[in-house]
């Protein structure tokens, strides 16, 4: 596809005065000297000039390890039943290099593009764009489709994708609400002086630069890309760690609360049980857990302690009670019931006493008022009914 010399292609093969014999494209002048790629079909065709193909192949050099892009210029010609997009020029688009996620077509970018088109291709207009992505095949993703729809609106705008690593290329055009891959296209040969002059000018601009300077530029762009990727990975890692830490802290808080509730509940149960044992003379005061001493700040602690000591003095002889008596007394100690989902005091009364007539006793034993509610998981004291 490369040219051996400018003079060998002087022949004009694009005569606008000669009409095609194809009824679909009646009224459109087609080049004679063409090469067909694939099997073009439909009422829309794409013709791309050979010098443009040479330039795009240079951009998609296999030595390039990241994305390259170009703006395609030419003209769209409509016939009676169809239309043809002629791509007769291309300019490199620096904003399409490396990372498509960072690509923007802002006012400044378009201003530069239009100025370049005016300088090198004053008689042509933008007809689409070119994208080279090494090793990514020629399929389009949502990001590429969005870039096309946002910046190259129109049914007559084309997208040309090339993957030099796989040796694949493909044209796309809008159809319906998305990009559709074309089944083929044509390469035509013409006296394309504008493209020749552009290639010569850009080559002369590049010649003074040393090869290592070009490599350094590529490496700088690549380093910047890696820095962006590393920063994103670092932020994602920090976010994951924060989520895990939040989950662990939440679990610890719940566990501590549950443990505190359980300890407090068990402490109350132990205190009531010990008090009953001492009150009934089953155990001696000196062998019990002196909970009253832990409540010295309570106004009733002194009276309670004196009462227990008085009872202990009166019942010292009962301290040597036999094992059977202890077991019998322990069996008569108050029971506790764990509230289940849907329980009420009436249903608990029926479960424990086979009667719903002991709601008042349950409320009194648990110091519950008319407005108090019970919840799933609560411990309810079940008093002994004589």
Kindly state the tokens that stand for 330: 């322990």
Residue of higher predicted confidence among 205 and 384: 384
| CA pair distance 364, 350, nearest whole angstrom | 17
Residue 94 region by backbone torsions, left for phi larger than 0, else alpha for psi between -120 and 50, else beta: alpha
Residues 6+ apart with CB under 8 A from 91: 70, 71, 73, 113, 116, 117, 120, 121, 198
pLDDT-derived band at 354 (thresholds 50, 70, 90) equals: confident
Predicted pLDDT of residue 274: 67
H/E element holding 46? strand 44-49
| CA pair distance 318, 282, nearest whole angstrom | 7
pLDDT-derived band at 47 (thresholds 50, 70, 90) equals: very high
Does the pLDDT of residue 35 top 70, yes or no? Answer: yes
Q: What is the CA radius of gyration of the chain?
A: 45
| Cβ(34)–Cβ(47) below 8 Å | yes
Calculate the alpha carbon distances from 319 to 56, 110, 267, 277, 325 in Å.
105, 101, 24, 11, 11
Residues 6+ apart with CB under 8 A from 36: 184, 186
Does the pLDDT of residue 287 top 80, yes or no? Answer: no
Of the candidates 135, 201, 137, the residue with the CA atom closest to the CA atom of residue 170: 137
First and final C-alpha spacing in the chain:
109
Does the pLDDT of residue 99 top 80, yes or no? Answer: no
| Cβ(89)–Cβ(50) below 8 Å | no
pLDDT-derived band at 77 (thresholds 50, 70, 90) equals: very high
| CA pair distance 188, 71, nearest whole angstrom | 19
**Within a 13 Å sphere around the CA of 161, how many CA atoms are in the beta-carbon half?**
22
| Cβ(213)–Cβ(33) below 8 Å | no
Kindly state the tokens that stand for 62: 């296999």
Grouping H, G, I as helix, E, B as strand and the rest as coil, residue 38 is: strand
66-172-189 Cα angle (round to 5): 90
**Quick one: DSSP state of residue 98?**
B
* pLDDT (average), residues 330-339: 74
- pLDDT tens by residue, 243-272: 778 777 877 887 777 777 766 666 666 666
Of the candidates 383, 342, 346, the residue with the CA atom closest to the CA atom of residue 364: 383
In 60-167, DSSP assigns E strands to 68-78, 83-92, 125-132, 158-163
Calculate the alpha carbon distances from 366 to 68, 343, 350, 380 in Å.
79, 15, 17, 7
Averaged pLDDT of the chain: 77
Predicted pLDDT of residue 26: 82
Does the pLDDT of residue 166 top 80, yes or no? Answer: yes
Does the pLDDT of residue 292 top 60, yes or no? Answer: no
């Amino acid at each position: 596809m490369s040219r051996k010399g400018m003079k060998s292609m002087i022949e004009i093969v694009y005569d606008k005065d000669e009409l095609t014999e194809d009824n679909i494209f009646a009224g459109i002048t087609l080049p004679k000297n063409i090469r067909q790629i694939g099997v073009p079909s439909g009422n829309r065709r794409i013709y791309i000039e050979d010098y443009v193909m040479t330039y795009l192949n240079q951009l998609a050099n296999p030595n390039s390890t990241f994305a390259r892009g170009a703006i395609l210029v030419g003209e769209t010609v409509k016939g009676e039943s169809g239309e043809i997009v002629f791509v007769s020029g291309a300019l490199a688009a620096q904003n399409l290099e490396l990372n498509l996620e960072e690509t923007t077509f802002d006012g400044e970018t378009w201003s530069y593009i239009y100025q370049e088109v005016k300088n090198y291709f004053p008689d042509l207009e933008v007809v689409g764009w070119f994208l080279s992505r090494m090793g990514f095949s020629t399929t389009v993703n949502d990001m590429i489709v969005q870039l096309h729809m946002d910046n190259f609106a129109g049914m007559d705008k084309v997208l040309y994708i090339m993957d030099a690593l796989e040796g694949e290329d493909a044209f796309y055009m809008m159809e319906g609400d998305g990009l559709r891959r074309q089944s083929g296209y044509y390469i035509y040969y013409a006296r394309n002086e504008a493209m020749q002059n552009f290639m010569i000018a850009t080559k002369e601009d590049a010649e003074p630069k040393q090869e290592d300077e070009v490599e350094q530029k590529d490496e700088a762009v690549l380093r910047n890309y890696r820095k962006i990727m590393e920063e994103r990975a670092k932020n994602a890692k920090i976010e994951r760690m924060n989520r895990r830490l939040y989950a662990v802290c939440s679990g610890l808080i719940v566990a501590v609360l549950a443990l505190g509730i359980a300890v407090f509940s068990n402490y109350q149960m132990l205190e009531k049980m010990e008090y009953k044992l001492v009150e009934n003379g089953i155990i001696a005061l000196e062998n019990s857990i002196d909970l009253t001493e832990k409540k010295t700040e309570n106004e009733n602690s002194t009276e309670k302690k004196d009462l227990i000591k008085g009872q202990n003095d009166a019942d010292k002889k009962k301290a040597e009670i036999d094992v059977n008596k202890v077991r019998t007394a322990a069996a008569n100690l108050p029971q506790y019931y764990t509230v289940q989902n849907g329980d009420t005091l009436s249903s608990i009364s029926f479960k424990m006493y086979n009667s719903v007539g002991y709601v008042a006793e349950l409320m009194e034993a648990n110091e519950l008022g008319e407005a108090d509610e019970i919840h799933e998981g609560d411990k309810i004291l079940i008093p002994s009914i004589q």
